[in-house]
Each structure stands twice: as C-alpha cells, then as structure tokens.
C-alpha cells in the first residue's frame, strides 16, 4: 500500500497584515474584519450593515456566534482583512 504525498503548495501572495480602519465610513457590507479592544481580538466576521455616519455597524460573527452591534464610542479598533484571508 503506497501513499502519494505532494509537497504543500505555498501561496504566491504574501501574507498581508490587516490594516486598521480609522474612518469607519470606509467599511462596506461584506468586508471581513477583526474587532479589537486593547489589542485583543474580541470579534471577527463580516460587516452586515453600517450607519451612514460610521459610528456603528452590525457584524455577522464567524463560527456561528450571531450578529453583534459594534460601537465606535466603546474605544474599539477595526482591522479589515483581504477577501482571500480568513482567520
């Protein structure tokens, strides 16, 4: 019984560090983001809806954690991931 192992193919695209989003009006529906508090990721997922003034958005959290309201006034930071990068 033989096994046929292939070497792992590495992505040709370099890993990109998620960029902080300073102006939340730059966030759009379906953007993949990490939400941080004091440098720790407290939520990850996909933007569902954002207020026009960018002070709040709804996040569809990864892993079935449901929908969560994210308020800018809580001192949170947001990092947007490229569409091909998943946590």
- CB burial readout 16-52, b (16+ within 10 A) else e: eebeebeebeebeeebbbbbbeeeeeebbbebeebee
> For 13-41, what is each residue's pLDDT tens digit?
555 667 799 999 999 999 999 999 999 99
For the stretch 55-67, pLDDT in tens is: 999 999 999 999 9
Q: How many residues does the chain have?
A: 87
Taking the CB of residue 56, how many other CB atoms lie within 10 A of it? 15
CA–CA separation, 51 vs 59, rounded Å?
12
pLDDT for 71: 97
């Amino acid at each position: 019984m033989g096994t046929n192992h292939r070497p792992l193919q590495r992505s040709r695209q370099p890993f990109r560090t998620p960029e902080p989003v300073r102006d939340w009006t730059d966030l759009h529906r379906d953007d993949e983001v990490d939400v941080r508090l004091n440098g720790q990721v407290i939520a990850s997922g996909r933007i569902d809806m954002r207020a026009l003034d960018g002070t709040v958005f709804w996040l569809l959290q990864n892993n079935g954690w449901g929908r969560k309201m994210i308020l800018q006034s809580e001192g949170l930071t947001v990092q947007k991931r490229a569409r091909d990068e998943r946590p």
